[in-house]
Amino acid sequence: MKYREEKDTMGWVRLAHDAYYGPQTQRAIENFPISGLVLPFSFIHSLALIKKYAAIVNSELGLLDPDKSDAIATASQEVMDGKFNDQFVVDVFQTGSGTSTNMNMNEVIAARANEILTGKRGGNLPVHPNDHVNKGQSSNDLIPSAIHISTLLSIRQRLIPALNLLHRELSNKAVEFHDVKKIGRTHLQDAVPMRLGQEFSGYARQVELGKERIESTEKRLCELTLGGTAVGTGLNTHPQFAPRVITLISAATKVKFKEAENRFEAQAAQDAAMETSGALKTVAVSLVKISNDIRWLASGPRCGIGEITIPSLQPGSSIMPGKVNPVIPESVIQVAAQIMGNDTTIMLGCQSGNFELNVMLPVIAYNLLESIGLLASAAGVFAEKCIRGISANRKRCTANIEKSLALATALVPHIGYDRAASIAKTAYRTGKTIREVALNEKVLPERLLNEILEKSADV
């Protein structure tokens, strides 16, 4: 980033785009020009949320002048509203505690608070980034708290509604396709008949269980380590600071956050983040299974399985006219691969808790929030652009049942396994159906044979 080496009377570097952030943030920009990736707005929003209520509580406790408190709270709210999104420029790959991002926030809020109070942006007076905006806090308890808040809010506001939509669309198809009989498949081979609706009911249940797994992490994510400051002992913070701030955050978000039962665990480890990532990965794996089944069931349209038809969204080939590809299932599979990769990164990050602090907090936050956002988007698009528009190829489903060699299974109770297997092998060798071979060999009276085979498909 280009900037002018010019300082104002307060010693702040005045950047070319007239930044609100100050010298500590500028040093972080200069020292960490690694990826160009920054923490997402959902995290910045949660960090500013803490700053807002920290200022209010510090004023109520008599530790912060009301005018400063009001200015900090107003500036924090403006950050939450997205007014200063372009001011949060510190690279994800920074100091492992997230101190650089915390100071980026402190400086932006202080600069704006001073502008509110004096009409002049920046500086350390009357509002100081550390003494006032960061009062009663440390990056070491603040960043883990922001990870929990942003993760839980993102899950509730984005992911759960998307999974509910996907579950609803799959459940609707389970009902719609209940009367469609088809051949089941195991080991990629024809198996006994089933209903297409039953197949889709399995997909719906996968999504439902995945949502429940994610929701089960909320109990741990609700714990905030706010008030632990440097190592969990609460040095330099008022004993009422954390419970009061958390009460206000809970009221504002309508989520019942609480103090961590053990701040030493909450600051030294990130097990709740790891657990959440694991639940996200489980849903991603489920979506791969469902997406691949949809791709195969819709394959063809003439030379594949072709038991369902999916919506045509775009030309599927730059060389083959009329070809249509399963673009949505393929995109969902790619999203799932990214989430699995993110989970590995989060795992490596979460095992980096050294003594009283985890030192990979920014990369944990980035990947966890990215996984939530990607999964929410993929689930929503999958539901709306693919599942909702699926139709059954009833003629193909019926024809596949009649052609299946697995129909010989229904004959086993009547003629024995070996005789039924022989009929299946003959049908395979001659290209005839099980019904045709059984009739030719007169293994059962025709009426009984037809009754047995029809019943086997009446699932």
pLDDT at 457: 67
Residue 124 has pLDDT above 90, yes or no: yes
**C-alpha neighbours within 13 Å on the C-beta side of residue 377:** 12
Q: What is the pLDDT of residues 77-92, one digit of tens each?
A: 999 999 999 999 999 9
Q: How far is CA 251 from CA 80, 209, 247, 323, 394, in A?
A: 16, 29, 6, 54, 53
Listed in sequence order, the residues at least 6 apart from 458 whose beta carbon sits closer than 8 Å to its beta carbon are 181
SS3 category, 122? coil
User: How many Å apart are CA 142 and CA 120, to the nearest integer?
Assistant: 28
Residue 412 has pLDDT above 80, yes or no: yes
Give the chain's count of helices (H) and strands (E).
18, 8
pLDDT at 9: 41
The H-or-E segment that residue 168 falls in is helix 160-176
Q: What is the mean pLDDT of the chain?
A: 93
pLDDT at 8: 42
**C-alpha neighbours within 13 Å on the C-beta side of residue 436:** 13
User: How many Å apart are CA 303 and CA 411, to the nearest integer?
Assistant: 30
Q: How far is CA 267 from CA 40, 139, 242, in A?
A: 21, 10, 15
pLDDT at 459: 65
Spell out the CATH class of 404-456: mainly alpha
Q: What is the pLDDT of residues 8-55, one digit of tens each?
A: 444 444 443 468 999 999 999 888 888 989 999 999 999 999 999 999
For residue 437, give the amino acid letter. Answer: V
Q: What is the pLDDT of residues 206-229, one digit of tens each?
A: 999 999 999 999 999 999 999 999
Residue 318 has pLDDT above 90, yes or no: no
Task: Give me Rg for the CA atoms of the chain.
Answer: 30
User: How many Å apart are CA 194 and CA 404, to the nearest integer?
Assistant: 12
User: How many Å apart are CA 263 and CA 257, to the nearest integer?
Assistant: 14
Q: What is the pLDDT of residues 243-295, one digit of tens each?
A: 999 999 999 999 999 999 999 999 999 999 999 999 999 999 999 999 999 99
User: How many Å apart are CA 297 and CA 67, to the nearest integer?
Assistant: 65
CB 152 within 8 A of CB 223: no
What are the helix (H) ranges across 119-195? 139-154, 160-176
User: How many Å apart are CA 453 and CA 345, to the nearest integer?
Assistant: 53
How much is the pTM?
0.93
249-253, 372-376, 399-403: lowest mean pLDDT where? 399-403
User: How many Å apart are CA 227 and CA 58, to the nearest integer?
Assistant: 12
Q: What would the mean pLDDT of 349-361 be, rounded to a whole number?
A: 96
**C-alpha neighbours within 13 Å on the C-beta side of residue 439:** 10
The catalytically annotated residue of 187, 201, 331, 456 is 187
Q: In sequence order, what DSSP letters do the residues of 33-99 get, joined into one string? A: -SS--B--HHHHHHHHHHHHHHHHHHHHTTSS-HHHHHHHHHHHHHHHTTTTGGG---BSSS-TT-H
Q: What would the mean pLDDT of 159-177 be, rounded to a whole number?
A: 98
Dihedral angle at the C-alpha atoms of 200, 201, 206, 210, nearest 10 degrees? 120
pLDDT at 13: 41
User: How many Å apart are CA 316 and CA 394, to the nearest integer?
Assistant: 24
CB 178 within 8 A of CB 197: yes
223 beta partners? 258
CB 85 within 8 A of CB 44: yes
pLDDT at 343: 98
Residue 386 has pLDDT above 80, yes or no: yes
pLDDT at 317: 72
Domain ranges of the chain: 23-135, 141-394, 404-456
Q: Which residues of 360-390 are buried (b: 16+ CB within 10 A; e: fewer)?
A: bbbbbbbbbbbbbbbbbbbbbbbbbebbbeb
Please choose, from the candidates 135, 156, 163, the residue with its C-alpha nearest in 3D space to the C-alpha of residue 245: 135
Q: Which residues of 193-213 are buried (b: 16+ CB within 10 A; e: fewer)?
A: bbbbbbbbbebbebbbebbeb
The catalytically annotated residue of 17, 317, 391, 414 is 317
pLDDT at 438: 93
pLDDT band at 326 (very low <50, low <70, confident <90, very high): very high
20-34, 107-121, 224-238: lowest mean pLDDT where? 20-34
Omega of the bond leading into 311 within 30 degrees of 0 (cis): no
Q: What percent of the chain has pLDDT over 90?
A: 87
Residue 7 has pLDDT above 80, yes or no: no
CB 363 within 8 A of CB 92: yes
437 beta partners? none
Q: Which fold has domain 141-394?
A: Fumarase C; Chain A, domain 2 (1.20.200)
Listed in sequence order, the residues at least 6 apart from 138 whose beta carbon sits closer than 8 Å to its beta carbon are 228, 229, 230
Active site residue 250: no
Q: Give the position of tokens 């059954």.
A: 392
Residue 398 CA, distance from chain mean position: 38
Active site residue 139: no
For residue 398, give the amino acid letter. Answer: T
Spell out the CATH class of 23-135: mainly alpha
Q: What would the mean pLDDT of 135-141 be, rounded to a whole number?
A: 98
pLDDT at 301: 84
